[in-house]
Amino acid sequence: MRFPTPLVPATLIKRYKRFLADVRFDDGAEITAHLANSGSMLGTSAPGSRVWLSRSDSPTRKLAWSWELVEIDGHLVGVNTAHPNRIAADAISAGLIPELAGYDRVRREVRYGSRNSRIDLLLEADGRPPCWVEVKNVHLKRGDWAEFPDAVTARGAKHLEELADQVRLGDRAVMLYLVQREDCTAFRPAADIDPTYAAGLKKAVGDGVETICYTCRMGLDGIDIGSPLPLHLEQTS
């Protein structure tokens, strides 16, 4: 995934009301940017952080600027949760996720199940059961661990149940965690933040839902799929 325009650096003043961030450009100008992230952004939204923004010229947007990246301990971290679905879809189509290879059709935002939900990605191929893929953005790091979620997510727990429902119907279902950073060595659920989600993930895996985790290669020009990370369902110290 490439950014359509060059990113502009700034300094974070504050993040507030979930989707807003005040920043100061290097010339001293201050603006309010949109943040496509409903989580707590634990560890990624400290005032004074170096951030990078993209600009849109769309006349329908209330805020022209979007917060894309933040620098943490010398590493770029992606905070825009609108990107992982596209990154994953591009990587699957290019055969860069071997666990999800062999499908010649990738559809996004397909309605499924009995709860009027939409799956992030539906993979299809003649002669194979459909594969339902839910993509979760990960940017929380504690120690060397990439962790999800960074806030309680009832919606995320519901997605696990819906994936398990598809397995019971004879289909394949995958939870794909996409880590928008390169400085983690393994993934685990943040059980202390949301024990219900952690328990739901363990149950879903027992019910046949597959779990996959990949890092991303982060750059100021774009974000690409990186390397697989091992998953640990039990949180350890």
Percentage of the chain lying above the pLDDT 70 cut = 98
Q: How confident is the model at residue 117 (pLDDT cuts 50, 70, 90)?
A: confident
For the sheet with 186-189, list strands across it.
Answer: 140-142, 145-148, 186-189
**Which amino acid is located at 147 in the chain?**
E
> For 54-79, how does the pLDDT look when each residue is reduced to its tens digit (9 = 90+)?
999 999 999 999 999 999 999 999 99
Q: What is the pLDDT at residue 236?
A: 52
Helix (H) or strand (E) holding 92: helix 84-93
CATH of segment(s) 8-78: 2.40.50.580
C-beta of residue 69 within 8 angstroms of C-beta of residue 52: yes
- What contacts 146, CB < 8 A, 6 or more positions away? 138, 140, 177, 179, 181, 184, 186, 187, 188, 213, 215, 229
Q: Which CATH architecture has domain 84-228?
A: 3-Layer(aba) Sandwich (3.40)
d(Cα 124, Cα 28) in Å, to the nearest integer? 51
Enumerate the domain spans of the chain. Answer: 8-78, 84-228
